[in-house]
Amino acid sequence: MNKSKKGSLNIIGGQWRSRKIEVFDAEGLRPTPNRVRETLFNWLQTDIFNAQCLDLFAGSGALSFESASRGAKTVVQIENNVAACRILKLNAEKLNASQIQVIQTNALSYLKNVPENPFDIVFIDPPFGLNLVAQSCELLEKYHWLAPYAKIYIETETNLTLNLPENWQLLKSKIAGEVAYHLFEFR
């Protein structure tokens, strides 16, 4: 019998502060560390309440659960891994997080559609080394996924050069160990 390995992490702010969520332990899954999440949500503190958020490559769901905990109106989690999706859904149920929708699909395929409504905040934290950031950003632009002045969070390996649309303004950027993280605004 193949049992999925699980760990856990704490939500660090908002209504579910200190609550634990389960995390699927899969190769390439890197939950965003606490100090990075704390910095990111300090950056987003005036934008998160009532925001519509899209978490591409959701993985552990750390960013989207943190968003919902801090008052995001809707959160869509996109994750390709079946077992990770199962745990995301269980966590949403455990927290009674009706504003979270989990969709099990390939993120790039998902982005090749026109959304019903554009998103205010998009999280892009894909597995490293697969060139998924550039493709994701291109599709976000092409299919109009971004609301005016949307914030786009991108987490990558430190040595990755970002080639992003010219109308994306870099607001903040930091490095933590082997991870670079950036916040952009869509103009």
Burial of 21 (0-12, 13-18, 19+ CB in 10 A): buried
Q: Output phi, psi for 110, to 5 deg.
A: -60, -40
- 28 within 8 A of 80, measured Cβ to Cβ: no
- Token digits of residue 163: 């080639």
Per residue in 36-60, pLDDT (tens digit) is: 999 999 999 999 999 999 999 999 9
Per residue in 175-186, pLDDT (tens digit) is: 998 899 999 999
Sheet holding 74-79, edge to edge: 100-104, 74-79, 52-56, 119-124, 146-157, 179-186, 168-176
pLDDT of residue 2: 40
What's the pTM?
Answer: 0.94
Domains (range + CATH), the chain: 6-186 (3.40.50.150)
Per residue in 61-117, pLDDT (tens digit) is: 999 999 999 999 999 999 999 999 999 999 999 999 999 999 999 999 999 999 999
pLDDT of residue 25: 77
